[in-house]
Amino acid sequence: MTSKTTRRNLLKIAGGTAAVYAAPFSVSAATRRRSIGANDRIRIGVIGCGGRGRNAHMKGLYAHVKETNFEIVALSDPWRIAREQANGMVKEWFGRDAQQFVSYRQLLECKDLDAVTIASCDVHHTAHLEAAAKAGLHIYCEKPLAVELPDLIRAVDAVKAAGTVVQIGTQIRSLPSIVGARDLFRTGVFGKLSRVEECRNSERPYWYHYLKGNDILKEEDVDWKEFLHGLPMRPFRADIYSGWYGHYEFSRGPIPNLGAHYIDLVHFITGATFPTSCVCLGTISPTWKDEHNFTNPNSIQATWIYPGDFVVSSSNNLANGSGCIRKLYGEKGALDFTNWNKPTYDCEGAPRRDGSIRGKKEVTPTEHPDHFLNWLQCMRSGQTPNASIDAGYQHAVAVIMAMKSYETGRKTFYDPVKREITYA
């Protein structure tokens, strides 16, 4: 056995013979899907050690460490402080340091890595996803899956070629309450849909919550070039690095970033896949024009038309917090999922109510594994996770259609056969 033979290679060799006949892609990619045995420890790397990476991904995974047997072995982030904070958690949990890197490229070169989580800037998701897929790794990737269609297609194709288990971070679809809402919808109790609407409002844009000053976020602690990741070089700014959610270069504002959850739930509950058309208008409210010069719209509305002639609307006002709602309207009743955890339904206003819904009722939950647990389980079973790469592709297409309409002032259309967005 040569020195280059690793645990991963042994596992690939053991499972390779059957895979040659099972799929047209390479043995190493095909076998990767089932390469983690029941007793093998899953070795995970974390790409992006900010608040999302530490508080959602790392803590979300660690809640299941005893039942799933994994360890976090590698960390990457352009900011030294974030890396060290994440490593402090690893040391507390596993009793040793993780390998720490500035770049995801360095992390992906680690030997014996099985999987990665991706919690980087929205605009970086596809590059990190594509690279991790080509490395043959299982992946948990944050939403929105993409902000540009060519990048989305390239990353999804890489995942399909790799055959690895990819879970997209639209975790709300794994709530028992939402799975129950989907099951209820499938009974036909609401009849034909006419509209699904969301009004998601707040007193100020969410990106202000993340702002840090130069006293905390120092230039010497940040690899600024790695953070920009190919975007035009400019002087370091702590409020850009910490408040990237508010800058159009790094994110696209509330429709993709927050609305990805909403669109994903519309797809999950109704079974819809791609909208046929979209229009979107927005602006920057004067309430939050200040020295930070944020470029994302904080007052914006998108409207999609789906096959079956129902309308989906997402309205976001990040300058006044009143009037929030999230509701699905059918001819026989309506589903209110403003509160993800306790959706309700009734027949008020339904033109063809038939007596099957009486009064206001809570949706009966359907038991379902936590989103992180589902991903960990699927790495061993080879099953498709709840928020598959296809689900991620679908929500990404919808939000990209919206933002292309916002950018151009034109109506957008999507052709699922050609995988193209066109304009009126």
Question: CA 153, CA 421: separation in Å to the nearest integer?
Answer: 12
Cα distances (angstroms) measured from residue 212 to each of 15, 144, 409: 49, 24, 34
Instruction: Identify whether residues 19 and 106 lie together within a single domain.
Output: yes
The tens place of each residue's pLDDT in the chain, 424 residues long, gives 333 333 333 333 222 322 222 222 333 444 444 458 777 999 999 999 999 999 999 999 999 999 999 999 999 999 999 999 999 999 999 999 999 999 999 999 998 899 999 999 999 999 999 999 999 999 999 999 999 999 999 999 999 999 999 999 999 999 999 999 999 999 999 999 999 999 999 999 999 999 999 999 999 999 999 999 999 999 999 999 999 999 999 999 999 999 999 999 999 999 999 999 999 999 999 999 999 999 999 999 999 999 999 999 999 999 999 999 999 999 999 999 999 999 999 999 999 999 999 999 999 999 999 999 999 999 999 999 999 999 999 999 999 999 999 999 999 999 999 999 999 9
Instruction: Identify whether residues 188 and 279 lie together within a single domain.
Output: yes
Residue 1, domain member (yes or no) = no
Instruction: Identify whether residues 348 and 243 lie together within a single domain.
Output: yes
Instruction: Identify whether residues 153 and 18 lie together within a single domain.
Output: yes
Instruction: Identify whether residues 144 and 64 lie together within a single domain.
Output: yes
| pLDDT for residue 8 | 39
For the chain, count helices (H), then strands (E): 16, 16
Range of the domain at 178: 174-368+396-423
Instruction: Identify whether residues 327 and 225 lie together within a single domain.
Output: yes
| pLDDT for residue 38 | 73
Instruction: Identify whether residues 255 and 150 lie together within a single domain.
Output: no
Instruction: Identify whether residues 151 and 178 lie together within a single domain.
Output: no
Tell me how many domains the chain contains.
Answer: 2
Is-contact 249 295, C-beta < 8 A? Answer: yes
Helix (H) or strand (E) holding 266: helix 259-270
> Which are the contacts of 381, defined by CB distance < 8 A and separation ≥ 6?
none
Q: What is the CATH classification number for the domain harbouring 126?
A: 3.40.50.720
Residue 364, domain member (yes or no) = yes
Residue 31, domain member (yes or no) = yes
Q: What is the CATH classification number for the domain harbouring 354?
A: 3.30.360.10
Tokens 């609407």 sit at which residue?
197
Is-contact 344 282, C-beta < 8 A? Answer: no
Residue 2, domain member (yes or no) = no
Residue 210, domain member (yes or no) = yes
Taking only Cα atoms into account, the Rg of the chain, rounded to an integer number of angstroms, comes to: 22
Residue 107, domain member (yes or no) = yes
- Angle between the N-to-C axes of helices 259-270 and 389-408, in degrees from 0 to 180, rounded to the nearest 10: 130
Q: Where are the alpha helices (DSSP H) in 191-257?
A: 224-228, 238-242, 254-257
Instruction: Identify whether residues 155 and 268 lie together within a single domain.
Output: no
